[in-house]
Chains A and B, each alone.
Chain A
Amino acid sequence: MSDAPLVLGIESTCDETGVALVRGLDLLADVTASSMDDHARFGGIVPEVASRAHLEAFGPTLEAALEQAQVRLEDVDAVAVAAGPGLSGSLAVGVASAKALALGLGVPLHGVNHVIGHVAVDALVHGPFPETFLGLVVSGGHSSLLRVNDIATDVTELGQTLDDAAGEAFDKVGRLLGLPYPGGPHVDRAAADGDPAAFAFPRGLSRPKDLQRHPYDFSFSGLKTAVARVVEGFEDRGEQVPVADVAASFSEAVADVLVTKTLRACEINEIGTVVVGGGFSANSRLRSLAADRFADAGIELRIPPIRYCTDNGAMIAALGSAVVRAGLEASPMDFTIDSQMPLTQVVMGATESAA
């Protein structure tokens, strides 16, 4: 792959500024700066704080990535940037930087889909994708099932969450349990010492009627309310909330519904490989439950290591590299950022080249 194009990937959809360099499927550098510490005290991402941090972090992050990869900026053959979905103010910094950088370097620019990047990054870890596979993207903003025939040109959305994203539900339950923000890792840690069967929390959209109408969709809002009722019940009775048991039972419900529905989607569509990505795929119960049940079902499960699950430049460089390999035309320089970019849209305003 040493003569494959060198692709620079830029990520700035939320609170992480990521820059990575990929040649073919080889990851040469991946550097991330996060403003999470600035948000934690507010209990959520403050968009303006994140945007300001992106502007400050971009230059140093780019320099560090070039240094790590031992390449010069003028060696870059194409620039890829996350064009959406995400926070508008954050996206504006990364997209503006990417456009001007590509113009200055005289190389093509590809605006790509952040969520599809969460799936694409796995090719850097586990190698080329099979012809058709399912992508399960679970994060603070998304819980989506994708059918991927070609990561650069043919992605369809089978289903998504109808209300909260999985990671969002964890943030809210973390708050209920008095745990620090972000809830994902803290609830996960608390759950390690708890009994996953202590409370029978509901599995959203899993009754036969719901399965018929929403075979590939998720819902975590009802689950969150059920947890709130249990927690408030303990508080009203003046009893101590069994944080570990609640966390474990809640985690079990989320992991169970994600794994069960994804397996079912594999059966219906006769698909033998699932790639899981997104920040919530760092969740330990999701990982262990998925490993067990996919192995039992004889379905290949690919989850990249945790450092590639959270937002980073590698996912954007990986998708950019796939887009370049597929021979897609560059995005036009006036392309707009799209905070609601549809998950079936891999790139911004490009069409397949005739060649």
Chain B
Amino acid sequence: MKTLLIDYGSGNLRSCAKSLEAAGFNAGGNALIVSSDPRDVAAANALVLPGQGHFRQVMESFLASGFEDALREHIALGKAFLGICVGMQILFDSSAEADLAGLGVIAGRIERFAKVSPVPQMQWNTLSPIGDSPLMRGLPETSFAYFVHSYYAPVGVTPDGAITEYGRPFQSVVSQGNVHATQFHPEKSQRLGLQMLGNFRDWAVSN
């Protein structure tokens, strides 16, 4: 299986690449490519979109990278897709953080934490599965992932995924068909993060 990690200037690109390698995306017949060239997407079986920072800045960088059409086509073809942190948020229609539209791959709006302190949430927090996301399969009963964020996806944006609580419940894992994404940073979530990346790899291989 060939996985392409999109390089469009995201700060967590390097740790994402290293964690994907550690999770077997570049071993045993799998190949990981880090690329800033949208023409490489067609040959990839799986696509990973990292993201860190402000919704507007991330969305603008992504649009400027020229990957939009290739990403849409990849998803429309039913190929495996993984978004991470703001790489998850820009999949949605919109965000309270910025007045420019997201990609609209998943319906819904990203909201800002209120009535909870401190914001950003910056800590390890637990994941409770809802529905049946391939990312969540076989995880320990109490699973901690590492979060750094001020904005969240409301519960129910996709029926499958996971819920986390911080002042309110929000959706920390979303799965919709071939599109999967996490609000937290699997590349900073130690063994649990690698296990979830491995789950994505297994699912993508069998997809």
Do A and B share a complex?
Answer: no
Q: Which residues of B contact A (CB under 8 A)?
A: none
